[in-house]
Chain A
Amino acid sequence: MSETGTGIGARVKRKEDQRFITGKGNYTDDINLPKQTYAYFVRSPHAHATIKSINTAKAKKMPGVVGVFTGEDVANDKLGGLICGWMIHSKDGSPMKAGPHPVLAQGKVRYVGDHVALVVAETKELAKAAAAAVSVTYAVLPHVVDVADAMKAKAPVHDVAPDNRVFNWSIGDEAATDAAFKNAAHVTKIDLVNNRLIPNAMEPRAAIGSYDTGTESYTLYTTSQNPHVARLVISAFHGLAPEHKLRVIAPDVGGGFGSKIFIYAEEVACVWASKHIGGRPIKWTAERSESFLADAHGRDHVTHAELATDANGIITGFKVHTKAAMGAYLSTFASCVPTYLYATLLSGQYAIPNIYAEVDAIYTNTAPVDAYRGAGRPEATYVVERIVETAARELKIDPAEFRRKNFVTAFPHQTPVIMCYDAGDYAAALDKALEMSEYSSFGERKSAAAKKGKLRGIGLSAYIEACGIAPSAAIGSLGAGVGLWESAEVRVNPVGTVEILTGSHSHGQGHETTFAQLVSDRLGVDINNVSIVHGDTDKVQFGMGTYGSRSGAVGMTAISKALDKIEAKAKKVAAAVMEASADDVEFKNGTFTVKGTDKKMAFGEVALSAYVAHKFNSAEIEPGLKEGAFHDPSNFVFPAGVHICEVEIDADTGVTEVVSYTAVDDFGNIINPMIVEGQVHGGIVQGIGQALAEGCVYDKDSGQLLTGSYMDYQMPRAADVPNFKLAFTCTPCPSNPLGMKGCGEAGAIASPAAVMNAVTDALGLRDVAMPATPQTVWKAMQPMKKAAE
């Protein structure tokens, strides 16, 4: 592997950048279709209410209004509701309690921003004006916005769950874990809140839905990370149209971070309503304030955890109880996030013999909560790494050494919570991170900071995550409604250029470059002669999309398999043309040669021969050079690493500054280090955002979203973060031929714990709530100051 050139391992500049840096990107809102109309949604101003009546008469008469639709229209048309695609069963065996989630509210609204009516008009302004004229009479009901109150709520969010509990799920061996605690020399206890976050991809969600009355088929342009899944759900569950009559296109997408995985009401409503206005396209682009209200949020866990250690500081047991907010409805993948994506990672990098975790998933009158960068794994890492750090402090063992003592060192390692770690070298990452961060001389920096009136702290986070989701049969047995394989098709054109059709979707990840690198590497084709086609259900046969850091490990493996087939077929063609046996044909650096002769053919010549089809018997070899493959992974992949953060806190104001940040990650083999580093940077900043800045706040009394814009929801800006020190270690992943793990979520998974361990170290406190805003830190310091006085 070399960092130059265009093959695997090279720092190839991104092919897609040309259009983005010149303003020629093609995002959904950039698209305008002939005779297009505009949508605006009437949303609930209440956190919880019964809809007494909806009067649309006035709005319908307003100028430019093309149609007004309510839940009644949706019901009359038998348009199915939004679904949650992962069945979770409670401890007692009962299925999760999924309340109805109609595309437009029917009878009740359950959070501020809930979609009540759709107004379609000739312009955005007219639609908005008419929406204001839709009059809805509500009877307000009591609401709950946090999990602490939800189980004793006066009015349940859904009748099916009278105590607002969606499920009470568990994993691990409770009796064995209890026994471990009985024999423990020391038990560390901690209560943690994983703050609710609002994803805020910079491109707001958007959709254009249209219906062709001639072909009786629908088209939906949408900001999706997985257009095929969207088509499947809209077809099979909403029942809009069979799949061959519904085309979903996700053009350039401006960031997703999970929030664009899900099938949302607005997109479905636009494509559905188009038929009812004679097929005219309906365009909707969320205003940012709508994104705040109605994109699926992330995290929102309240956790109690206990860690048992023996007299030697070896972890013997781990018990966790988490209350996870689901919001007002179960979003597409909501139920798997606080269960199989969370509790299965509670072993961290440690050999913990006994783990038991229980999760209560709880409805609240808030926006639905679903996967957000890391999805469950940041929450797991936060619990593990905060309690491990706390235990080390209580036991007066250096936190780095405490971790090292407990690391898993032999692989494969079966944890007590399903996962089987396949490869890793956790000590290697720890050593490298300690060295790069100059861990041993931290004391000097702390004293120097104290002289400036600053409290300096250091914090580690040794994270592990499971991504490259996921083995279909395994997740099927755990309740998943879909398989999580990926598909690819390789089309070699007669001139030797290559098109890759992939079910993965790039919304910033750089697939047009990394996938082309793989092809260039394998076929010896110039990288500029490779193009990547994705994001259109009419072009790509099927695909499961991009999330859970799966495009490399799963998506590229599918391409790799298809390339194997291309190579095999091309060898046959080359053999026929060169009059040799296929077994004697070798392929290297883009050239086919016949063993023991000087006969050779370039890849392009073979491609042409395959299409010209003059030189072989087409009864034996089919003309053409095109192959497809599906890849279903045999295991998750397990990226892991150690992040070390140093902060300085201004004792006067409570302002926390991240002054140093080191990340050492093991992503297995890396296709393009430049792109991987970018993914890590972005992830770390989202995690620093969670730790220090971002916190979604609903007002307890009114149920209103208080952090509904950038005026109140603090997004990390350039000046809020430092440059990061990055390095990689490498244990190739044994479960895919490329040896790749995933890198998209690691930064966001590792960093909150690293930052908060540093903050609590600086302050000498057990816990400070995230986000550790200046006010929060200042308040946390007050008792210390009082004591000092």
Chain B
Amino acid sequence: MENFNYIRPAKVADAAKAMKKAKDGKFMSGGMTLLPTMKQGLASPSDIIDLSGLKNSGVKVGSKSVTIQAGTIHADVAGSKDLKKAIPGLAKLAGGIGDPHVRHKGTIGGSVANNDPAADYPSACLALGATIHTSDRKLAADKFFTGMFSTALKDTEIVTAVEFPIPKKCGYAKFPNPASLYAMVGVFVAQLADGSVRVAVTGAGAGVFRVPEMEAALSKKFAASSLDGIAVKSKNLNSDMHASAEYRAHLITVMAKRAVDAAK
């Protein structure tokens, strides 16, 4: 790993400033993606701006929405009693990310900012219609995730929180890559407060995506059987040695059904 300057600002504004000054800076939250990437030599930032000094952690459940501070670790999201009541599917998702040690460091902010095509959170954001709060603005999840490892974030922009509307019910089903434990296919299904249904898929494509056919079917009747015979076309799905595009397409339907069955 190449060396770098290390800065741990206490304020969001200072962090943004430090980033502006840096030649090729990187924000770091839990470092659970950034550090492995750097150890492999795939990134060598000049400066690491550690956001842990911001101390913005916590899950706050309101009447209509839940706001999770960007610096909240996965373990705290998974363990939040309030969240388990308000959006149980989201707590369950967080509890299934990586392993306990990863969940002790990795953060929701880091995860959404990174937008790994195999990450879990982006599916919840998209399915629940979350709003991403940043240092500069608020962005709907539909606008935020723009493709593989890419988001609408500008270089100096910092994710500060993610706000999730409380749905009627939701569920998440993940088929982990057996080696890495990342999502090979993950499907988040939500029946929102207004009765509409959203289905978001992670792990299977270049980035998280919604499945309109499934949403339409589930809007009519929110039951796993509504998804019989509905499959995502394999054409644009990922294919690797662990799962061909066809297998992923098949798993999307299976996982979507399981997510519906699990929805609370």
Contact = CB atoms under 8 A, between A and B. Distances in A.
Interface of A: 125, 652-653, 693, 697, 706-707, 710-715, 773-775, 778-779
Contacts of A706: 241
Contact of A712 (B1, B241, B250): B241
B179 A712 contact: yes
A711 B241 contact: no
Nearest to A774: B178
B55 to A, nearest CB: 32
B149 interface: no
B175 A712 contact: no
Nearest to A711: B180
B243 A775 contact: yes
A653 B175 contact: yes
Nearest to A132: B41
Contact of B179 (A711, A775, A779): A711
A775 B180 contact: no
B178 A778 contact: no
Contacts of B179: 693, 707, 710-715
Contacts of A125: 1, 3
Contact of A693 (B178, B244, B254): B178
Among all A-B residue pairs, the 3 with the closest Cβ atoms: A714-B179, A711-B180, A714-B178
A712 B247 contact: no
Contact of B247 (A711, A713, A775): A775
A697 B244 CA distance: 15
Contacts of A713: 179
22 contacts: A125-B3, A652-B254, A653-B251, A653-B254, A693-B178, A697-B241, A707-B241, A710-B179, A710-B180, A711-B179, A712-B179, A712-B180, A712-B241, A712-B242, A714-B179, A715-B179, A773-B242, A774-B178, A775-B242, A775-B244, A778-B247, A779-B247
A46 B211 CA distance: 42
Interface centre among A653, A697, A707, A713 (most CB of B within 10 A): A653
Nearest to B255: A653
Contacts of A714: 178-179
Interface string B143-185: 0000000000000000000000000000000010011100000
A706 B239 CA distance: 14
A714 B241 CA distance: 12
B252 to A, nearest CB: 11
Interface string B214-257: 00000000000000000000000000011110010011001000
B178 A773 contact: yes
A125 B175 CA distance: 38
A778 B241 contact: no
Contacts of B243: 775
A693 B243 CA distance: 13
Contacts of B1: 125
Interface centre among A697, A710, A775, A779 (most CB of B within 10 A): A775
A297 to B, nearest CB: 17
A778 B244 CA distance: 11
Contacts of B3: 125
B250 A778 contact: yes
Interface string B93-135: 0000000000000000000000000000000000000000000
A697 to B, nearest CB: 6
Given A653-B251, A710-B180, A711-B180, 13 more contacts: A125-B3, A653-B254, A693-B179, A697-B241, A706-B241, A712-B242, A713-B179, A714-B178, A773-B178, A774-B175, A774-B178, A775-B247, A778-B250
Nearest to B39: A287
A125 B44 CA distance: 14
A775 to B, nearest CB: 5
A743 B244 CA distance: 40
Contacts of A779: 244, 247
Nearest to A652: B254
Contacts of B247: 775, 778-779
A196 to B, nearest CB: 13
A779 B250 CA distance: 11
Interface string B1-21: 101000000000000000000
A40 to B, nearest CB: 13
Nearest to B179: A714
Nearest to A710: B179
Contacts of A773: 178, 242
A570 to B, nearest CB: 55
Nearest to A778: B247
A652 B173 CA distance: 14
Contacts of A711: 179-180
Contacts of A653: 175, 251, 254
A703 to B, nearest CB: 15
A706 B240 CA distance: 10
B117 to A, nearest CB: 14
Nearest to B250: A778
A693 B180 CA distance: 12
Contacts of A693: 178-179
Interface string B74-89: 0000000000000000
Contacts of B254: 652-653
A698 to B, nearest CB: 11
B178 to A, nearest CB: 5
Contacts of B250: 778
Nearest to B181: A717
A125 B241 CA distance: 33
A198 to B, nearest CB: 12
Nearest to A693: B178
A715 B243 CA distance: 17
A204 to B, nearest CB: 15
A668 B135 CA distance: 71
A497 to B, nearest CB: 43
B172 to A, nearest CB: 16
Contacts of A774: 175, 178
A706 B242 CA distance: 11
A499 B242 CA distance: 52
A232 B241 CA distance: 42
A712 B180 CA distance: 6
Contacts of B178: 693, 714, 773-774
A778 B180 CA distance: 20
A121 to B, nearest CB: 15
A712 B244 CA distance: 14
A777 to B, nearest CB: 10
A294 B175 CA distance: 31
A707 B250 CA distance: 24
A710 B181 CA distance: 10
A779 B244 CA distance: 10
A125 B180 CA distance: 27
Interface centre among B175, B179, B180 (most CB of A within 10 A): B179
Contacts of B244: 775, 779
A775 B178 CA distance: 10
A707 B247 CA distance: 20
A774 to B, nearest CB: 7
